[in-house]
Amino acid sequence: MDETFLWPDALSNEQVTAASSSELVTIYPHRTSVPRDAWGRLFATAKEEIGVLVYSGLFLSEDSGIQRTFAEKAEAGVRVRILLGDPESPQVAERGDDEGVGDAQAAKIRNALVLYKNLRRQEGVEFRFHRTVLYNSIYRADDQLLVNTHVYGVTGPHAPVWHLRRIAGGDLVNTYLESFERVWERATPIPGD
């Protein structure tokens, strides 16, 4: 075996940089460029953890196949955690203003909650509200991520998405996973769950 696989903490800065660049699978110029079935395939691969960090992620809540995958994975023992923006938070209001959609951002979150009504009752699926400035939306299935970067004045569907896969010695995926955990720790359970 390669020594970097056995001892990833002993890597030089150059080796960490090289490993991290290897974590990049592909870049999509817009979220709408991600093939529709890629979302389902991503979540279907999860064996331990699914995580979603968004303001609304309305496109996921509108997809009955994704919701079914979340429910089936939860029944199989996969931890499913979904973080939605608190529609009453100033951060959501500011994002709506920044993207030029105003109150529509908060309305999309409320719409997602309605669409997730049955999934919110599913054992093994956890929902929380967060009140953070969201720099990236994160969609996780174990060691693979789709990261929708946010660009000032551009709505999420029109911003780039990075497909990442964690490898030994890489730091890129861990940065996003640690960010997800920090938001999760500060988030509050959604009322009614």
Mean pLDDT by runs of 10 across the 193 residues of the chain is 51 50 90 94 97 96 97 98 96 85 89 96 96 94 96 85 91 94 97 62
Per-position DSSP letters for 8-62, written without gaps between them = GGG--HHHHHHHHHHTEEEEESSGGGS-HHHHHHHHHT-SSEEEEE-S--HHHHT
- C-alpha 82/C-alpha 91 separation (Å) is 18
Strands 144-149 and 161-165: antiparallel
How much is the pLDDT for 29?
A: 95
- C-alpha 62/C-alpha 30 separation (Å) is 19
Length of the chain: 193
- C-alpha 160/C-alpha 2 separation (Å) is 33
How much is the pLDDT for 156?
A: 84
How much is the pLDDT for 107?
A: 95
Q: CA 109, 111, 113 angle in degrees (round to 5)?
A: 70
Give the pTM: 0.86
